Amino acid sequence: MTDLMPPAPDLPPLLTDDDVRDRVESLVGAAREDRTLWLVPLDGDRRQPPLLVPVHDVPYLPGDLVVGLGRLLSEMLPRLGTAAGPGSVVFVLERFGPATVHPADRDWAEALVAMCEARGVVQRGVFTATSAGVVRLV
Q: Determine the pLDDT at residue 11.
A: 86
What's the pLDDT tens digit per position in 75-134?
A: 999 999 999 999 999 999 999 999 999 999 999 999 999 999 999 999 999 999 999 999
Task: Catalogue all structural domains in the chain, each as residue range(s) with its CATH number.
Answer: 17-136 (3.40.140)
- State the pTM of this model: 0.92
Give every CB contact of residue 93 below 8 A, 6+ residues apart in sequence. Answer: 36, 37, 38, 58, 105, 108, 126, 127, 128, 129, 137
pLDDT of 4 over the 50 cut: no
Look at residues 45, 48, 43 and name the one whose alpha carbon lies nearest to residue 27: 48
